[in-house]
């Protein structure tokens, strides 16, 4: 896990973002929103939280009545972007697809 917590360079971040369609960099965080009705969003968040608990890495989550926004950074690396952030983002993409969430609302 130590290599996952090493902050990435700007060029490495850009390369990783190119692999994850729909995610955007905002400072030292990557973000993405999904369109989903409130109760579906709650179910999706619970699913994400179960995975986060297992891998020991967590996103900031903002739930609204018609969308869910995820913001990811590595707090243990000084709020910098690491490989762990991009791994979690890919997992969130798969979970969102399984819940029928609409990307980038």
Kindly report, residue by residue over 53-73, the tens digit of the pLDDT: 999 999 999 999 999 999 999
- The pLDDT score that the predictor gives to residue 5 is 82
Q: Does the pLDDT value for residue 3 go beyond 80?
A: no
E strand or H helix at 87: helix 83-98
Q: Does the pLDDT value for residue 1 go beyond 50?
A: no
Confidence of residue 105 (pLDDT cuts 50, 70, 90): low
E strand or H helix at 30: strand 29-35
CA distance 6 to 47: 27
Confidence of residue 4 (pLDDT cuts 50, 70, 90): low
């Amino acid at each position: 896990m130590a290599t996952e917590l090493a902050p990435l360079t700007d060029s490495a971040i850009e390369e990783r973002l190119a692999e994850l369609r729909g995610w955007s960099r905002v400072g030292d965080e990557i973000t993405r929103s999904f369109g989903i009705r409130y109760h579906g969003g709650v179910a999706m968040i619970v699913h994400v939280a179960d995975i986060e608990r297992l891998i020991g890495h967590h996103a900031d989550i903002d739930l609204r009545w018609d969308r869910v926004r995820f913001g990811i950074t590595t707090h243990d690396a000084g709020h910098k972007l690491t490989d762990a952030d991009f791994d979690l983002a890919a997992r969130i993409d798969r979970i969102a697809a399984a819940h029928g969430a609409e990307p980038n609302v």
